[in-house]
Amino acid sequence: MEYVHLGRSGLMVSRLCLGTMNFGTRAEPPVAHRIMDRALEMGFNFFDTANVYGRAVRIGLTEEVVGDWLSQGDHRQRVVLATKVFARTSDWPNEGGLSARHIISACEASLRRLRTDHIDLYQMHHVDRGTPVDETLEAFELLRQQGKVTYFGSSNFAGWHLARYQEHARARGTQGLVSEQSLYNLLSREVELEVLPACREYGIGMIPWSPLASGILGGAPGADHGGRRSDAGARERGAKHRDQLAAFEQLCREAGSQPSEVALAWLLAQPGVTAPIIGPRTEEQLTQAALGLDVQLGDAELARLDQIFPGPGGAAPEAYAW
């Protein structure tokens, strides 16, 4: 396993991040524990979760499953633990968003469920347009001063949101964000316009989610891979991109690699990408995903992938202007 710095921080993380969204629901706790055991054996040290994962059963279930595992042996010492805050945890006022009140109370709840005294990377799960940036940053700074959180990141931010937060943090004399989680894969390349350039400019590590586009880049369009979209939606999208996927799979056959491996290898080759998030439901899916680390794509293959899955044309504004 290769390890890299998370953005401009000194924190070292594995080149693949273990996503836990399926734990407790699509992967029962014993299976989830075996997946985490195996991931640790393989060298994964970067685990990602969120306070609302598991909500199909109950909010916080996934953090509880992860917390039970972290409490065993030296697991907590070996893992860079990331979780998120933003989504509503109840219908009661103030139980959602990025207000100081919600951030602090949500952090305390996550710490209890995760059975730990600190979170390594605490991430805003979405932008909150109703809360002042300085209020959110002040809450983060307080948690860091208390030793409850070490680093802060974001998810689903636009490029200008990243710039706004970093400039506010600079004015406050604080570190600001070290990472951004965004939808990024061969079929969804919009972040190349402004999000990725902002990440590179500010030293923010890019953590792509849904690297296999809900499974349809894994060689089985429309299959149930536990993705964020419905099975029907994945099938519809697979049908829409049938010709592209056929060309992609032909390239993979010529390269002697599985589609999932090539899709991950392509992401890992993109400047600014730190660690794509994989979300296995079985040990076999974990092992298969890790094979992407061994695939090296040449310039000709990368160019061919750009032809099959053309992006927005590069960074803004040259992508659409001069």
Angle between helices 195-202 and 159-172 (to 10 degrees): 20
Q: Which of 190, 183, 186, 180 is closest to 209 using CA atoms? A: 183
Would residue 122 show up in a list of annotated catalytic residues for this protein?
no
Q: How far apart are CA 218 and CA 215, in angstroms?
A: 5
Residue 290 makes CB contacts below 8 A (sequence gap 6+) with: 16, 42
Structure tokens at 194: 């402004």
Q: Where are the beta strands (DSSP E) in 163-238?
A: 177-183, 205-209
Catalytic entry in 3, 53, 122, 151: 53
Q: Which contacts qualify for 102-109: CB closer than 8 Å, 24 or more apart?
A: 103/136, 103/139, 103/140, 103/143, 104/139, 104/142, 104/143, 106/51, 107/143, 107/148, 107/149, 108/148, 109/51, 109/60
Bridge partners, 81 (sequence order): 47
Q: Which residues are catalytic?
A: 53
